[in-house]
Copies of this chain bind each other. A is one copy, B any other.
Amino acid sequence: MISCTGLFFNFDFFLSMFEIFRKYLEEKVAISDSDYAFIKSVSVIKRLRKHQLLLNADDRWSSHAFVCEGLLRKFSIDEKGSEHTVYFAFENWWVGDRESLMNNLPSKYYIEAIEDSVVLLIHDENFQEIFRKVPQIKDLVNTILQRSLNAAHERINATFKSTAEEKYKHFLKSSPNLANRVPLHMLASYLGITPETLSRIRKQIAKTK
């Protein structure tokens, strides 16, 4: 049940990571102790070193992953070799590839740790079992999906009506905490501009102040 592919590991570590997840759940759903026991029994903690991949393109994704610590990103690589970041995921967010999971298809995406990170994995079969035991979790998932969808639409909307500079400023405003944690070239690939352009924009903004 308990497993870890990281470098070192002990039971206390597992417990403290699970505790983060439990706290997250407790804020949103009432779950009995026995159900928590079940959730714990199917949870797998995985450490990731910076640069390590949680998902490789062409692999199948079959779990649900909750970020306990650290920062990851999901991205694809196009024919020309350029990276495109779909989103960043930090503490208390979920990552994965639902497209691969739902359709049982090889993934088009990579998921990579930007910092040393810890994720909690639950295999989809077990996740469905949790749904059966604790149906209120469906409402939680529903809410998360709705918010994610709103955010995605908002991003599409904001992207199209903005210049590169506006996009960057919008990012700074909406995710000030991320701006310092994400390397410039990844941020550029998230905003859909080149690193050079982003570098110049930064300089430009610094000068104005």
The stretch of A31-39, A136-144, A172-180 that contacts the partner chain:
A136-144
Q: Which residues of B contact A143 (CB under 8 A)?
A: 102
Q: Which residues of B contact A150 (CB under 8 A)?
A: 98-99, 102
Instruction: Write 14 A-B pairs (CB below 8 A) sorted by A numbering.
Output: A76-B161, A78-B161, A84-B157, A84-B161, A87-B153, A98-B146, A98-B149, A102-B147, A102-B150, A138-B139, A138-B142, A141-B142, A145-B149, A155-B156
| CB 8 Å contact bits of A122-141 with B (1 = contact, 0 = none) | 00000000000001001101
Q: Which residues of B contact A4 (CB under 8 A)?
A: none
Q: Which residues of B contact A84 (CB under 8 A)?
A: 157, 160-161
Q: Which residues of B contact A157 (CB under 8 A)?
A: 76, 84, 86
Q: Which residues of B contact A78 (CB under 8 A)?
A: 161
Interface of A is mostly: helix
Contact size range, A: 20 to 34
Contacts A138-B142, A142-B145 given; does A152 touch B161 at CB 8 Å: no
- The answer to whether B161 touches A102, judged by C-beta atoms less than 8 angstroms apart, is no
Q: Which 10 A-B pairs have the closest CB atoms?
A: A152-B152, A160-B192, A145-B145, A78-B161, A99-B150, A84-B160, A149-B149, A138-B138, A98-B146, A84-B161
**Chain B proximity of A111: nearest CB distance (Å):** 13
**Chain B proximity of A159: nearest CB distance (Å):** 7
Contacts A86-B153, A138-B139, A153-B86 given; does A159 touch B98 at CB 8 Å: no
- The answer, yes or no, to whether A204 is at the interface (CB within 8 Å) is no
Beyond A149-B152, A152-B153, 5 additional contacts (C-beta under 8 Å) are A78-B161, A102-B150, A138-B138, A156-B156, A160-B192
Closest to A153 in B: B86
Contacts A145-B146, A149-B149 given; does A156 touch B99 at CB 8 Å: no
